[in-house]
Amino acid sequence: MFDVSVRKPGEGKIIIPNFPIDMIAADERAGSFTKRSIKKESKLDALYAAIEMVDLTTLEGMDTPGKVKQLCGKARQAVPFGIQKEMEKFSNFRPIPKVAAVCVYPNMVPYAAEALEGSGIQIASVATAFPAGQLPIDIKVSDVKRAVKFGATEIDMVIDRGAFHQGHYQKVFDEIVKVKEACGKAHLKVILETGELKTYDKVRLASWLAMEAGADFIKTSTGKVSPAATMPVTLVMLQAIQDYYEMTGKKIGMKPAGGIKNSKQAIHYLCMVNETLGEDWLTPDLFRFGASSLLNDLLKQIFKQVTGRYYYDDIFSLD
């Protein structure tokens, strides 16, 4: 074990605990959550809760204002009104909630802000040269300020993995601090790109570094690198959040992103959050899913729980 130290302006030296993670134990513990079985009303509650934690996302080179506006429409009203009316005939049906946020590239923020005005849905933007993060810090800061100016209420930034792997932890730390300052009132989610960090030890170290630097959330992945979110990696990050909370009293949010495509997986993640951090974290303020295709499966499973039959996929808009 060797600790890492960094310096924060005005606060002096900060010690980042750094120690080896038992990979086998982490894998086994994470695997245990996939064996949880939730039935009937509790399952329905979990499906509704998961919808409220979704960051509905489009991050493609062919994104257009029209596509973003369509996605925002789905964020506000996930189910067509006619189908919603039909479902209201069932006593155990509850109105489908809105998602937590819509996540877009910075140049698409103005269109999302216009489409989501008055909805209460957060506008998240991937800034800081997403997904590679390979630009000078002044350009990254400018990117963040521009996104916030145009309406972003949340910023998803990527760390400099090259600097991290070289052991330049102060550089990684300083960039997060500067981006956090540029966010103003917007919340900051720090993407570790865990698929490139390779080991659980590095995942924990990067998690702690991000939290000390001011992250409101720590996030697994950009969704552009494989593997993206996995349950063992997420567990390591959740345990880092738990330890950080016990040491500082600060509650940091968690966002697994990429690869979570169905309701069964989402419920496994919720079980893991509940058993690791407790019910306080089962809220959009502290837990998110970075996904888009997940929403349709959550809706499909809700309709199955309510009606006893599956609705065909095309009944919901395809993203």
Angle at 266 between CA 261 and CA 270, to 5 degrees: 160
Residue 1 lies in a domain: no
Q: Convert the pLDDT of each residue in 35-89 to its tens digit.
A: 888 877 789 999 999 999 999 999 998 999 999 999 999 999 988 888 888 888 8
Residue 15 lies in a domain: no
Catalytic choice (140, 145, 219, 300): 219
In the block, which residue shows the tokens 């300052």? 181
Residue 5 lies in a domain: no
**Residue 308: pLDDT band with limits 50, 70, 90:** confident
pLDDT at residue 2 above 70? no
Catalytic choice (156, 160, 174, 216): 156
- What is the structure's pLDDT at 318? 59
Tally of domains in the chain: 1
CATH of the domain at 189: 3.20.20.70
Task: Give the C-alpha separation, 240 to 45, whole Å.
Answer: 27
Report which of 159, 129, 160 is spatially closest to residue 147, judged by C-alpha positions. Answer: 129
Determine the structural domain holding residue 42 and report its residue range: 25-309
The average confidence (pLDDT) of the chain is 92
Annotated active-site residue 63? The verdict is no
Q: Convert the pLDDT of each residue in 63-75 to its tens digit.
A: 999 999 999 999 9
Residue 318 lies in a domain: no
Q: Convert the pLDDT of each residue in 104-155 to its tens digit.
A: 999 999 999 999 999 999 999 999 989 888 899 999 999 999 999 999 999 9
Residue 249 lies in a domain: yes
Annotated active-site residue 255? The verdict is yes
pTM above 0.85? yes
Report which of 3, 19, 5, 11 is spatially closest to residue 170, judged by C-alpha positions. Answer: 5
- What is the structure's pLDDT at 314? 64
Residue 77 lies in a domain: yes
Residue 315 lies in a domain: no
- What is the structure's pLDDT at 12? 82
How does DSSP assign the chain, residue by residue?
---EEEEETTTEEEEE------HHHHHHHHHHGGG----HHHHHHHHHHHHHTEEEE---TT--HHHHHHHHHHHH--S-HHHHHHHTTSTT--PPPPPSEEEE-GGGHHHHHHHHTTS--EEEEE-SSTTT--S-HHHHHHHHHHHHHTT-SEEEEE--HHHHHTT-HHHHHHHHHHHHHHHTTSEEEEE--HHHH-SHHHHHHHHHHHHHHT-SEEE---SSSSS---HHHHHHHHHHHHHHHHHH----EEE-BSS--SHHHHHHHHHHHHHHT-GGGSSTTTB-EE-SHHHHHHHHHHHHHHHSSPPPGGGSPP-
Q: Which amino acid is at 273?
A: V
Residue 16 lies in a domain: no
The mean per-residue pLDDT over the stretch 169-179 comes to 96
Contact predicate 238/252, CB 8 Å = no
Annotated active-site residue 216? The verdict is no
Catalytic choice (189, 255, 297, 300): 255
pLDDT at residue 26 above 60? yes
